[in-house]
Amino acid sequence: MTTIAIVGTGLMGTSLALAIKSSNLKVDIVGTDYDSVARSGAQKSGAFKKVESRLSNAIRGADVVVFATPIQAMREMMESAANDFEEGCVVTDVGSSKKVVLQWAEEVLPKHVSFVGGHPMAGKELSGPKNADGTMFKGKAYCIVPSVNAERAAVSSVTTIAEAIGAKPFFIGVDEHDSFVAAVSHLPFMMSVALMGTASKSANWDDIAQLASSGFSDLSRLAAGDPVMHRDICVTNPEPIVAWMDSYIRELYELRNMLAKEGGPDPDALHEVFEEAMNARARWKAGILTKIDRVTSDIPSFAESMGEVFMGRRGMEAQKKFFGRLKDDPANKAKKK
Amino acid sequence: MTTIAIVGTGLMGTSLALAIKSSNLKVDIVGTDYDSVARSGAQKSGAFKKVESRLSNAIRGADVVVFATPIQAMREMMESAANDFEEGCVVTDVGSSKKVVLQWAEEVLPKHVSFVGGHPMAGKELSGPKNADGTMFKGKAYCIVPSVNAERAAVSSVTTIAEAIGAKPFFIGVDEHDSFVAAVSHLPFMMSVALMGTASKSANWDDIAQLASSGFSDLSRLAAGDPVMHRDICVTNPEPIVAWMDSYIRELYELRNMLAKEGGPDPDALHEVFEEAMNARARWKAGILTKIDRVTSDIPSFAESMGEVFMGRRGMEAQKKFFGRLKDDPANKAKKK
């Protein structure tokens, strides 16, 4: 029987445990958390065989160890468990910044373990084990970022877990990961925080707030996320976030200037920009992710070239087939509503 | 029997018709739209007693006329129907910019009608009568912005309709309306458009898109909205939108600078900002709209002072009581998750 230890039994760790438990994997899941509330929440979830208060008790005997704590806590956790990892143990994490985590793994983990960075693209603005949801990963990308020394078998283990919980394994280089995730996840969080700040600092906020409805609610939702998790993301991945924020501010400023145009905004120009954004989103929602049809293209994507290193051409064909389903019939699905 | 004519049977017009039909108001609802697809969709909805292809046929005999077209079409519609309005007819609209609409009403409508601007704070990113939803207005604010010449009885009619469909009438001055709505509705739309633009124009968009999940989806949702409606909003309300965009860009730029700080971001400072945003949103969601408890405060809000002009003190006490329910127990509800 394989044993998986999950370090950190908050929203993410407990959701992962629930997802693994209801998968076809025959594994025992052990949890550990420094926080007694998180431990008792994890116990109540029924996903864990045991929930240990001591980190070393959870790590010992585990074939796979998953770090699911806020990022900044990982280095210390890895360090204090350094002597407890079994020979050949596969170590992974679910953090949203990969460069620092890979670096810490390289510096801190013993040579007899294999580290493979992981990052399921799933989450909620709610935190804690009581909000855990094992179905959260279904259909979502699961980034896999192996360390330079990772064994192929270790990559395969993490890939198996990702597939078992219904996610789509996505092989990606560390710099691309940290930049792309900054675009789709960290930038949207900063946007939400800035919106909440802008609105709530206004002298008229109490009147304004009464008019705020579902649009405002959606755009500000991410600002309700765990401040510790987001602080750690920002501290460990600042450059890519800044780069995307700059690009976003430029885009916003162009729109602003269209509205502030001498003599009034040009209706046709505005219409075109709004229609473009609507169409880009419709294409994304329909799974039409590229203008060049990738099936007929010979240029591999980042994900493809990374994947080939670890899975070989055959594994990648399987991955392509999986993603391919999302991509058929671009013309029909891109239709405007 | 009172007859309400709804000019424009798209998402908003048909939703309004459905909501009125299932309310306790005993009225006949007549619809009209220049577009035959919208007319047949409206007919299918079952909300309308008749759907007219000629504007004049819908206007004649109507006690209340509601303009629910894109804003830019309203002036022309008002003009071409000018001779068809019944004596004492109450005219209103559901547009998202109020200043221009009130101005057009003043310029174009005959003196024997009473214009009261209206704006329900409800919507969807989907358009057309087939996506109409009569429950969309429940619990949402319904801005009421009477023209200078509006009769008290006309304000009362529009208020009655707003209440009948489950919305909360919210009396507000025209400048405040156009500014506050720019904050909670037009700014979020521009944010969404800019996010879609930033991400989809990236050379790596096809890889990035595969990582985009629920956070990105929420933040970009409004960009899927009707480009014509939003073009018209921008053209008719540019200054307040620009002012809020400037304020938002400043806020975003401050956050950006916290991340770009020489020597790395200050974790505590970031934590504080994220926690503040989280708390501001939690307070808003819990209905705690003001730091000063308005029950013990003697300073009337914009909405209150406007309301007093039209409803008198007693009506406002009722409105306060209604809003009051949302506001009890601030301390408990503000609790962090």
Residues of A in contact with B301 (CB under 8 A): 206-207
The values of phi and psi at residue A45, to 5°, are -65, -25
Q: What is the pLDDT of residue A312?
A: 56
**CB contact at 8 A, B175 and B99:** yes
Residue A258 distance to chain B (closest CA, Å): 9
Q: For testing the chain A interface, which of B195, B235, B306, B325 should be mutated: the one with the most A CBs within 10 Å?
A: B195
Question: Measured between CB atoms, which of B123, B208, B223 is closest to A180?
Answer: B208
Mean pLDDT, residues A103-129: 94
- The pLDDT averaged over each successive group of 10 residues in chain B (337 residues) is 95 98 96 97 97 97 97 95 97 97 97 97 90 96 93 94 96 95 97 98 94 95 95 97 97 98 97 97 82 41 58 54 39 35
Give the pLDDT confidence of B318-334 residue by residue, as tens digits. Answer: 555 444 433 333 333 33
Residues of B in contact with A265 (CB under 8 A): 234-235, 238
Question: Measured between CB atoms, which of A211, A238, A294 is closest to B181?
Answer: A211
Whole-angstrom distance, CA of residue B240 vs CA of residue B186: 9
Q: What is the pLDDT of residue A297?
A: 40
Give the pLDDT confidence of B247-269 residue by residue, as tens digits. Answer: 999 999 999 999 999 999 999 99
| Residue among A115, A125, A123 nearest A142 (CA) | A123
Q: At what angle do helices B238-259 and B174-181 cross, to 10 degrees?
A: 40
Pair of tokens at residue B203: 């050379």
> Is B197 within 8 Å of A234 when comparing Cβ atoms?
no
Q: What is the pLDDT of residue B233?
A: 96
HSE-up of B224 (CA within 13 Å, CB side)?
22
Largest CA distance in chain A: 73
Pair of tokens at residue A235: 């501290």
Question: Mind spelling out the 3-state secondary structure of B34-77?
Answer: CCHHHHHHHHHHCCCCEEECCHHHHHCCCCEEEECCCHHHHHHH
Pair of tokens at residue B25: 């108001």
Residue B204 distance to chain A (closest CA, Å): 8
Q: What is the pLDDT of residue B113?
A: 96
Confidence of residue A303 (pLDDT cuts 50, 70, 90): low
Q: At what angle do helices A227-236 and A238-259 cross, to 10 degrees?
A: 100
Whole-angstrom CA distances from A322 to A24, A31, A175, A329 are 19, 32, 24, 15
Residue A127 distance to chain B (closest CA, Å): 7
Domains for chain A: give ranges and CATH numbers. 2-172 (3.40.50.720), 177-265 (1.10.3660.10)
Whole-angstrom distance, CA of residue A61 vs CA of residue A79: 17
Question: Measured between CB atoms, which of B180, B248, B281 is closest to A224?
Answer: B281
Helix spans in A2-126 (H): 11-21, 36-45, 55-59, 71-80, 99-108
Residue A180 distance to chain B (closest CA, Å): 5
**CB contact at 8 A, B140 and B121:** yes
> Is B211 within 8 Å of A241 when comparing Cβ atoms?
no
Rg (Cα) of chain A, in Å, rounded? 22
Whole-angstrom distance, CA of residue A52 vs CA of residue B140: 47
> Is B270 within 8 Å of A188 when comparing Cβ atoms?
no
Pair of tokens at residue B118: 């209206």
